[in-house]
């Protein structure tokens, strides 16, 4: 282990960091489409055991008895249920191997997000080094205040090797790393920055404060330039009429010192990182500050996160970070950047004060909150070039739509006040760039945010935002933007019965996110529902089924699938006549399809 310490200290191995404002390619995870559309009715609703049984039968890798799955998360959404299963080999988890089943509220599997692996394990794949010792050395090297270790299998240079995956948290920058150490040799296999950057306690009362809504340039409908400049955070009377007085809901009154604090049900202002800035408090409940006071950023963060979370809940999404987010408005010191650090209930956001203070711009505040919401919807999935780009696009869509709804002036300028100035160029959410892209993760984010803003302007804010938040539950590690586009389209099916399909598909195709047959929309969808149809006997012993349905439905066919959703046959039907099926004993799903109508699915047992 001395060799490990020396090599790490000398930084002999190269590794990839998330850029702050520089554009670099992040390539820590293989990129491939992982979305698979299915329609598999469930016998028992959302039972994880039934879903697991279907997965085992559907995918060939489980012919190897050493490869298994274990459920790691179950998340309810307005559109349905989302089950994620971690993949194991002989009780050892495979690094980011697994599968997510997205289940429609009408009790059928709508899609799989598949990141299953089929590892070939060699005899030499053994854990030689002591896990506690490796963790201890990394903890010391990282100057961490907290570290966690997991024993996993990792694909490296075409082989599966045993590794210790160590996560460290430190009061340095970057603040959280994932270290992957070869458990045989101590070699540093990979090292990645876990933070997501914005560029490259129940309360009991209300208070009042002053904020920019969303920023001074939008409020004044001007662009950056004298006298609307940062000027080293100095107060200028030109900003006074651009401040709005707002209500600070559910802040906390501390009877011990008779003061009000910016701690509420959805955000808690803290001094987390080592740049001492005492959180603002008030004896009266009034938090009136000008922008040269540190308390101003505290109020900005509290108000905008609290307001946005209440909007999310008004749309029916009640478990996307429905808890106090730890927030340090000055936690990134003099850096001209901000970051979200994922760490379960201890997750937090820190904003920097370089250039224009990040927490003076609601765009930066809500962008960072977007990372927290994405983490809440699909925890620990922000890995892979396009997946990280998707997360940046999630944040950019949130801040663009939030700003648009307050004041549409220059809504497309992402970070209107913090960027687009002498400090850095900012980004836009009205780009015409198409997929695929080259460059940094932020290029992917720009494509995603720009396309979704087009959709939002076309189908309306509420429908688009609901689809957007629904999609957050459906993400996995290593996914691509086309995967996310399929999820977004499925979200419209789950929430709006596909009412916006044509418009959504059109914009995704124009961007290159959909191609080929994905851009062909069958507008001749069934218009009628075949009701009151019967199938008997059920169960049946002789495989002869009598099927009856109204004779007005002509050119009918019987569609049959097995429990994995695999289509088995499509037989012609005549109302009131029997049909013979050549099927093995088991459970099947059947429905009637005609050119103008479709029935519901029925479960049929053949004994």
pLDDT digits (tens, 9 = 90+) for 98-157: 999 999 998 899 999 999 998 888 877 899 999 999 999 999 999 999 999 999 999 888
Q: How many domains does the chain have?
A: 4
Same domain (yes/no): 23, 46:
no
pLDDT tens-place string over residues 46-70? 689 999 999 999 999 999 999 999 9
Q: What average pLDDT score do residues 243-266 get?
A: 95
Same domain (yes/no): 286, 343:
yes
Same domain (yes/no): 575, 533:
yes
End residue of a domain, out of 99, 115, 131: 115
Same domain (yes/no): 246, 364:
yes
- Pick the more confident residue, 3 or 193: 193
End residue of a domain, out of 409, 432, 457: 457
Q: What average pLDDT score do residues 526-539 get?
A: 79
How high is the pLDDT of residue 123? 77
Q: What average pLDDT score do residues 81-90 get?
A: 96
Residue 392 lies in a domain: yes
Same domain (yes/no): 418, 537:
no
CA proximity to 244, closest of 201, 299, 190: 299
Pairing of strands 205-211, 286-287: parallel
Residue 7: pLDDT band by 50, 70, 90 thresholds? very low
Distance CA 574, CA 556 (A): 7
Pairing of strands 80-89, 108-115: unpaired
Task: Using the predicted structure, report yes or no on whether residue 329 has a pLDDT greater than 70.
Answer: yes
Distance CA 254, CA 268 (A): 14
Distance CA 591, CA 559 (A): 5
Same domain (yes/no): 306, 443:
yes
Contact status, residue 330 vs residue 318, Cβ threshold 8 Å: no
How high is the pLDDT of residue 332? 80
Q: What average pLDDT score do residues 413-424 get?
A: 96
Task: Using the predicted structure, report yes or no on whether residue 13 has a pLDDT greater than 60.
Answer: no
pLDDT tens-place string over residues 581-593? 778 888 888 888 8
How high is the pLDDT of residue 158? 83
Same domain (yes/no): 340, 424:
yes
Same domain (yes/no): 162, 213:
no
Torsion angle in degrees (nearest 10) through CA of 291, 295, 299, 305: 100
Q: Which of 32-41, 59-68, 71-80, 158-167 has the lowest mean pLDDT?
A: 32-41
Contact status, residue 242 vs residue 296, Cβ threshold 8 Å: no
Residues 6+ apart with CB under 8 A from 537: 545, 546
Residue 12: pLDDT band by 50, 70, 90 thresholds? very low
Where in the sequence is the domain holding 560, given as residue range(s)?
Answer: 528-606
How high is the pLDDT of residue 124? 78
How high is the pLDDT of residue 115? 92
Residue 503 lies in a domain: no
Residues 6+ apart with CB under 8 A from 414: 363, 367, 396, 399, 400, 426, 427, 428, 429, 449
How high is the pLDDT of residue 317? 98
How high is the pLDDT of residue 525? 52
Question: Is the peptide bond prior to 538 cis by the omega test (within 30 degrees of 0)?
Answer: no
Q: What average pLDDT score do residues 186-211 get?
A: 78
Looking up residue 562, the CATH number of its domain turns out to be 2.60.40.10
Tally the residues of the chain: 607
Looking up residue 354, the CATH number of its domain turns out to be 3.10.170.10
How high is the pLDDT of residue 568? 81
Residue 592 lies in a domain: yes
Same domain (yes/no): 262, 400:
yes
Looking up residue 54, the CATH number of its domain turns out to be 3.10.450
Task: Using the predicted structure, report yes or no on whether residue 543 has a pLDDT greater than 90.
Answer: no
Same domain (yes/no): 129, 105:
no
Residue 493 lies in a domain: no
CA proximity to 1, closest of 93, 124, 139: 139
Residues 6+ apart with CB under 8 A from 126: 162, 183, 184
Same domain (yes/no): 312, 453:
yes
Task: Indicate the DSSP class of residue 256.
Answer: T
CA proximity to 341, closest of 483, 178, 136, 476: 178
pLDDT tens-place string over residues 448-484? 999 999 999 999 999 999 999 999 999 999 999 999 9
Residue 4: pLDDT band by 50, 70, 90 thresholds? low
Question: What residues form DSSP beta bridges with 193?
Answer: 177
Contact status, residue 464 vs residue 495, Cβ threshold 8 Å: no
- Pick the more confident residue, 527 or 595: 595
Residue 569: pLDDT band by 50, 70, 90 thresholds? confident
Q: Show the 3-state SS of 476-522.
A: CCCCCHHHHHHHHHHHHHHHHCCCCHHHHHHHHHHCCCCCHHHHCCC
Pairing of strands 427-428, 413-414: antiparallel
pLDDT tens-place string over residues 355-387? 999 999 999 999 999 999 999 999 999 998 999
With a pLDDT cut of 70, the percent of the chain lying above it is 91
How high is the pLDDT of residue 199? 63
CA proximity to 545, closest of 483, 604, 466, 469: 604
Residue 203: pLDDT band by 50, 70, 90 thresholds? very low
Residue 477 lies in a domain: no
**Gyration radius from the chain CA atoms:** 27
Mean pLDDT, the chain, integer: 88
End residue of a domain, out of 95, 115, 135: 115
Task: Using the predicted structure, report yes or no on whether residue 22 has a pLDDT greater than 50.
Answer: no
Residue 511 lies in a domain: no
Give 68-72 contacts, CB < 8 A, sequence gap 24+: 69/98, 69/99, 72/98
Residue 424 lies in a domain: yes
Residue 521 lies in a domain: no
Task: Using the predicted structure, report yes or no on whether residue 551 has a pLDDT greater than 80.
Answer: yes
Residue 549: pLDDT band by 50, 70, 90 thresholds? confident
Q: What is the pTM of this model?
A: 0.83
Give 2-9 contacts, CB < 8 A, sequence gap 24+: 3/186, 4/134, 4/137, 4/181, 4/186, 4/187, 4/188, 5/137, 5/140, 5/141, 7/188, 8/137, 8/138, 8/141, 8/188, 9/141
How high is the pLDDT of residue 563? 78
Distance CA 538, CA 546 (A): 10
How high is the pLDDT of residue 61? 92
Task: Using the predicted structure, report yes or no on whether residue 311 has a pLDDT greater than 80.
Answer: yes
Q: How many CA atoms lie within 13 A of 51 on its CB side?
A: 27
Q: Which of 244-253, 325-334, 531-540 has the highest mean pLDDT?
A: 244-253
Q: How far is CA 187 from CA 17, 136, 545, in A?
A: 18, 15, 63
Distance CA 464, CA 504 (A): 10
- Pick the more confident residue, 508 or 439: 508
Residue 32: pLDDT band by 50, 70, 90 thresholds? low
Residue 600: pLDDT band by 50, 70, 90 thresholds? confident
Task: Using the predicted structure, report yes or no on whether residue 528 has a pLDDT greater than 70.
Answer: yes
Same domain (yes/no): 23, 45:
no
């Amino acid at each position: 282990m001395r060799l490990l310490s020396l090599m790490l200290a000398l930084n002999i191995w190269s590794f990839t960091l998330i850029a702050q404002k520089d554009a670099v390619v992040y390539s820590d995870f293989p990129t491939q489409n992982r979305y698979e559309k299915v329609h598999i009715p469930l016998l028992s609703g959302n039972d994880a055991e039934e879903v697991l049984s279907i997965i085992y039968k559907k995918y060939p890798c489980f012919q190897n008895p050493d490869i298994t799955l274990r459920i790691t998360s179950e998340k309810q959404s307005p559109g349905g249920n989302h089950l994620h299963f971690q993949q194991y080999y002989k009780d050892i988890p495979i690094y980011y191997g697994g599968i997510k089943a997205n289940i429609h509220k009408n009790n059928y599997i709508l899609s799989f997000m598949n990141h299953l692996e089929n590892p070939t394990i060699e005899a030499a794949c053994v854990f030689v080094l002591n896990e506690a010792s490796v963790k201890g050395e990394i903890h010391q090297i990282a100057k961490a205040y907290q570290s966690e270790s997991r024993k996993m299998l990792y694909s490296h240079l075409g082989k599966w090797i045993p590794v210790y995956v160590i996560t460290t948290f430190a009061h340095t920058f970057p603040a959280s790393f994932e270290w992957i150490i070869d458990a045989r040799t101590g070699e540093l296999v990979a090292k990645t920055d876990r933070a997501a950057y914005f560029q490259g306690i129940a309360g009991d009362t209300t208070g009042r404060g002053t904020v920019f809504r969303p920023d001074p340039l939008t409020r004044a409908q001007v662009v950056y330039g004298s006298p609307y400049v940062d000027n080293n955070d100095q107060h200028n009377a030109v900003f006074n009429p651009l401040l709005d007085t707002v209500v600070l809901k559910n802040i906390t009154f501390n009877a011990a010192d008779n003061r009000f604090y910016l701690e509420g049900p959805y955000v808690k202002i803290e001094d987390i990182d080592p740049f001492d800035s005492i959180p603002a408090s008030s004896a009266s409940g009034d938090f009136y500050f000008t922008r040269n006071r540190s308390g101003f950023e505290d109020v900005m963060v509290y108000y905008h996160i609290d307001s946005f979370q209440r909007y999310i809940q008004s749309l029916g999404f009640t478990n996307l970070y429905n808890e106090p987010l730890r927030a340090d408005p000055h936690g990134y010191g003099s850096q001209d950047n901000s970051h979200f650090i994922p760490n379960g209930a201890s997750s937090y956001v820190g904003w920097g004060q370089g250039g224009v203070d990040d927490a003076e711009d609601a765009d930066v505040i809500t962008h960072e909150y977007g990372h927290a919401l994405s983490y809440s919807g699909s925890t620990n999935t922000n890995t892979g070039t396009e997946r990280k780009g998707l997360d940046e696009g999630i944040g950019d869509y949130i801040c663009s739509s939030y700003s648009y709804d307050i004041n549409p002036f220059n809504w497309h300028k992402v970070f209107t006040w913090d960027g687009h100035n002498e400090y850095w160029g900012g980004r836009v959410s009205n780009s015409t760039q198409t997929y695929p892209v080259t460059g940094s993760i932020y290029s992917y984010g720009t494509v995603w945010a720009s396309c979704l803003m087009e959709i939002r302007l076309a189908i309306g804010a509420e429908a688009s935002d609901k689809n957007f938040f629904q999609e957050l539950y459906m993400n996995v590690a290593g996914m691509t933007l086309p995967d996310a586009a399929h999820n977004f389209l499925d979200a419209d099916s789950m929430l709006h019965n596909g009412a916006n399909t044509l418009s959504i598909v059109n914009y995704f195709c124009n961007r290159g996110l959909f191609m080929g047959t994905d851009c062909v929309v069958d507008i001749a969808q069934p218009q009628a529902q075949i009701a009151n149809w019967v199938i008997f006997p059920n169960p049946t012993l002789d495989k002869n089924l009598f099927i009856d349905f109204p004779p007005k439905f002509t050119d009918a066919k019987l569609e049959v699938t097995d429990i994995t959703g695999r289509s088995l046959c499509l037989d012609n039907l005549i109302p009131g006549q029997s049909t013979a099926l050549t099927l093995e004993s088991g459970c099947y799903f059947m429905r009637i399809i005609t050119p103008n109508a479709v029935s519901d699915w029925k479960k049929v047992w053949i004994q």
